[in-house]
Each structure stands twice: as C-alpha cells, then as structure tokens.
Amino acid sequence: MDTDSVYTRSELMVAAASRQIADGEVVFVGMRLPLLGFLVAKSLRAPNAVGVYELGIIRDTVASEPILTMGDLPNLYRSQWLADTRDTMSLLQQGLVDVSFIGGAQVDRFGNLNTTLTGSSVNITTRLPGSGGACDLACLAHRHIIIMAHERRRFMPRVDYITSPGYGDGKGWRESVGLIRGGPSAVITTMGIFAFDHETCEMVLTSLHPGVTVEMVQEQTDWPVRISTELSQTPLPTHQELSTLRRFDPNGYWTGK
C-alpha cells in the first residue's frame, strides 16, 4: 500500500473513519474529524455517498473549497437541499440515514455515551454541553460510529448519564426500550479501533494504531478490555488519503499536532 510515513494521530483517525463509509450510503456527517472523514470517503471510495448536515444541508457533491464547519459558504453553494435542522432530523425519523458519527465525554463498554453531566443527577460535578442532536443520531440512524480521545477518565465501566444510547446493559436492551434499529458499530479512538460483539454487544478491540500496545489500551480503559482473536494494526493512511485530507484541511486546523 502506498503510504506516507509522516502523519498525525488525528489524520490516522480520519482515514479510519473514511473507511467506515460505503458507496451510496446516506451519512449524517457531524463536525471536526467526521466532517473530514466523509469528504475523504466521498472523494476516494464512496462517490455516490450523500452527506446530511445538521444545519439542513444535503450534498451529493464535494465542496469546491476547504470548509472548517458545515455552515461555511462553500458547503452551502450548490447544495442539493438547503433547509433546516427539522428537515434533516426528519430523515433520521424515517430511517433514511445509514450511518452517523458522534462522540462524547464518556463512553462505556456497551457504547453508551454521556455528554450531559458527571457525577449524578442529584450531585452534579460538571455540567456538560448536552445532547444536541446526538441522541437522535444514536437512536435513529441504522448505525453510528463513535470517535473520541482514549483516556481512562472517559472510558468508564458505566457512564454517569446516558445521553446517547448504545446497547444499554447488553443484548436486547435497545429492542426492550423501543429502539427498532441502530446501535454503535465501531469506536475509533486515539489508540485503536473497537467493534461490538454480536452476542454480548460489548466493545471488542480489533485494531491497534501503530506504536500502541494492548497494555497501553488497558491502562487507559477502566474495565477489562476484550481483545479480538484477529487483532490487527490499523492500516496507515495512504498517500492518496493524506493528500486528499490535507486539501480539505490545508492548515491542519482539525488534524494538526
């Protein structure tokens, strides 16, 4: 594989995120690294993917100029649909979104995310930004992908508050609370990539980023990490992926060191 030896950890995560998108999928894009991951996928391997942006923008083409946020003018120019948040959320409700990207302050072994508070509802230690549209994405997309920094204080046995549901307390939980589709399919972190076991719905480490060991991952995870029997190394970003990514983020605003 044609690779570039110099890259940042964020660029590696963007490349990994882009590989999660299949051609023809409808993608609720998100901000920062997911935004770039969609643009890389759309440019290189998923030309028929459609991007849905929370502001009400839908695009089946790539913006002609770099964008830092979904609301930048080049992203609005010649978009296929320029509506509002209610319209894009209605696509989720109808089951028309294949995949979404979200993150959080805390995640647990079943992929539940917290962006609401730390502590408890009666003894709040930190008030976090809240859900925004993240709960909708976690509940209504056919699958969602989690992207976040890998730190022990974030990877908890049980999140303090479930803002965006993963698999609750295990298999069958989503169905029991009326979530008829969806769930997290992957977790891309600064250390590796996790999938979810079909039987237990627990997070399983499937890939380590270059230079990272299982012991390092366990040190930064506050529960016993399950390891895939086919554990591999995350493929390096290709030269083509990096050059495409840097065209969209030329100053390294989201992906620089």
Cα torsion through 5, 7, 13, 19, rounded to 10: -50
DSSP assignment of 231-251: EEEPPPPBHHHHHHHHHHSTT
Q: Known catalytic residue: 54?
A: yes
> 11, 25, 54, 241: which one is catalytic?
54
| Paired tokens of 33 | 């690294």
Helix (H, G, I), strand (E, B) or coil at 218: helix
Check the CA dihedral 58-91-37-257 and report its sign: positive
Nearest to 163 by CA among 193, 202, 136, 142: 136
Q: Which two tokens stand for residue 106?
A: 């805390």
Partners of 193 in the beta sheet? 188, 207
Whole-angstrom distance between the N-terminal and C-terminal Cα of the chain?
Answer: 24
Rounded to whole angstroms, how far apart are CA atoms 84 and 55? 6
Which residues are part of the catalytic machinery?
54
